[in-house]
Structures are given as structure tokens and as C-alpha cells.
Chains A and B, each alone.
Chain A
């Protein structure tokens, strides 16, 4: 006698009498799968990171399914640490993570509050606790992303107020797990040292995700994606110039993966604009306005055997 509407409420497996669970509904309904595939499509490389995120998403989905049939392992710990070199996409992934957690129902609002030491640690005695609490209150219901988290702990100064911020964070990470997900991010070796000196922090973080460096091919793909988004394109010779540029830039100091590429592209845009302005009188076609030529890239200092910082 049941209508389709109420059958979904108490659907029992006729064989066992157990309530069966519609796995497809949980996976597709909140659009999680869709979110994960856009993650795959829009972010180049980062295979271990994407695998890890899929694992976490799967765990949370299964946890939800288990809750539907009355099994419970308690709320899962979702705090994470992202380690990797500069420009490997830690912040980008964190904001995607916030969205994924929101879709899965583990984060009520799904917003990302990105902070550094300055936002958490005060200038004088009694200043740190209210400051840290204010940030935590703003991040409640979402994700608190602490960039370069190791600066919170300064072993050389035992009166450093950072310790106080760490203690408040630890307390909230433990007692308000449903309200707040904390993601710590930073360079690999310094994060390792940070965790060694703060074992409490290490044990409260369930997921340690390591971001590998990009290969040259991946960096080129990233450049293509960035240019697409800015509605530029490379000429054929421009593309080969960029490949050479990437190979040279990798070997030079202060290389920051995707961030270096973004900076390089911004500068080639400048040179392109300058070049176009110089050809006074010639009609500027749509094509010309969009195209970055080899000379725009080859003018970089990188091709003249290096640089003193930057570029």
C-alpha cells in the first residue's frame, strides 16, 4: 500500500528485513561526486592529494550510511595538516575541502577562514586568548585554515604568546569537533619540527596530507589553465618558450611552483601590453589582444642566466 514517497522513508530489504541504504543517493544527492570530479578537472597533478581527499570523502559517506542503519563510531576527527613546498595548492585545496565537508554535512556553513600567526597571537599579556577566540568564533561552522602554522611555536622564546594560542586551539579542536575543522599548513620540514615539539597537536590531527612538487609538464598545464581563465592564449612559439622558461626557472632559487608560473604569466602580460602599445597605428585584432608571443616570455631575466630573487 505504500506510495513512492513513503517507501523511501522505511525501505526494508525483503530478504533480511534489514533497513537497506540507498548508497547512490548519499553519493550523488549532495553533489559530492560532481565536486570531486571538478577537483580532478580543474586542478592539475596532485594525485596523492586527490586520492586522499577521495578517501576522506568516502569515509565520511560511509559514516553517514552507517549512521542511517544505527551504527556509530562517534563523530570522525577531521582536522588536517597540509604540508608541501610553496605554490603547491594548499590554500586552494583547503577551500575545496571546506566545500566538500559542507556538501557532506560535516560542516554547517562551509566557509574558509584563513589566518596566520598575526591573527591569533597577541602583542601583550592577556591579548592572545580573546584574539584567538574571536578567530575561532568566526570560523565556527566552517574551516579554520592556519597558514605557516609552525610560526605559532617559537622555541627560542619560552614566554612567547604563541603557546597560549596553541593551547586554546587544542582545547577547541577536542571539545568542539562538530563545530570546527582546523587545517594547519606549511612547509614540510618545519611542520615536522612543529609537530615534534607539539605532540598534542600531532595526535589531534587525523589526516596528514603531503603536497608533492609539480613536474614541468604539470606546470605547463597549469599555465595553460591560468591563461584560459584570463582569456589569453599562447602562440605556438610562445608555448615552446614557456616550456623552456619552466625548465630554466625550476633550477633557479626561490622557485614557488604554481605561484612562480602565475607571476611569470603576469609579467608576460605586461610585456605583451607594452609590445602592443609600441606598434602604434597597426590595428589591434582580437587575436592580437589575446595572444602571448614568444618574445613576451623570452624577455624574462630567467633566460639571461638567472636573477637576484623574484621573477
Chain B
């Protein structure tokens, strides 16, 4: 099951050329681009691990693309996303965030039913990948 999250979640995965164009847009706006990764595919998992520090003061996309290549080399089977942070006073938050790398096989989610008080049933989802400890998922 293909996980989607962030700005272009309704589109097919972006090619490197398209990623570069998006990054160029971010840099032209003066946003700081950062790379993050995770192997926990839960939709509520919004705090991913940072891959290096956010890149402030960049002028050209080549720096971001090199960093992304390094991230892909280190974590080929994890989700990787690119974030753009706007430091303008009063905004100071992410403006753009999209997935740029995903594992080859995404096993999807199980529906979990929990018996609650009375005869109530609570539903939640659980990723098959998350059955294994962190770092061993998607191998």
C-alpha cells in the first residue's frame, strides 16, 4: 500500500528533475530546506529523524540534491522527505514537505479491533512493517 503524505500526496512520486525544481522554488523564496527520514509509516508519525541539519543560506539546488543522494545512499529502504522551513517572523513553520524516497515494498496496514467497556469496539490501524524493531523494517 503506497503511503502518501505532505504537499504532493495526490501525485505520483516526483522525479529528480521535479524535486530539483521544487527545491529551486523553495530556495528562491529563501526557505531553509532540510532532509528527514523514518521507517515508521504510521500516518500520525509526523516527527521524523533529521538527516543532518537544516540547510540555511543555500543559493543553489546542487547542495540539497547532494544531501538527498547521501540520504538515499544511507537509507535506501526508508521513507525520506524534503521540508522547507520559512523563517519569516510570524510564519516560522514548514511551508512545504514532500516524500522523495520510499521502500521498494510497502506491506500496508492491518485493522486492529479492541474490545472496550460495554460491547464497544475501538478500531485502529497497525503497519505490518512496524511489527519489527526500528531499523529492521523494510529489509
Contact = CB atoms under 8 A, between A and B. Distances in A.
B60 interface: yes
Contacts of A140: 58-63, 66
Contacts of B19: none
Interface stretch (A34-42, A129-137, A150-158, A242-250): A129-137
B62 A176 contact: yes
B55 A179 contact: no
A244 B111 CA distance: 91
B91 to A, nearest CB: 22
Q: DSSP class of A's interface residues: helix, strand, loop or mixed?
A: loop
Interface in B59-114: 59-64, 66-67
A140 B67 CA distance: 12
B58 A138 contact: yes
Interface string B39-67: 00000000000001101011111111011
Interface string A118-135: 000000000000100110
Nearest to A137: B63
A137 B53 contact: no
Contacts of B59: 109, 111, 138, 140-142
A111 B57 CA distance: 12
Nearest to B57: A138
Of the listed residues A130, A133, A134, A137, the one surrounded by the most CB atoms of chain B closer than 10 A to its CB is: A137
A109 B66 contact: no
Nearest to B56: A138
Interface of A: 108-109, 111, 130, 133-134, 136-138, 140-142, 176, 179-180
Q: Which 10 A-B pairs have the closest CB atoms?
A: A141-B60, A137-B63, A179-B62, A140-B62, A140-B63, A140-B60, A109-B59, A138-B57, A109-B60, A111-B59
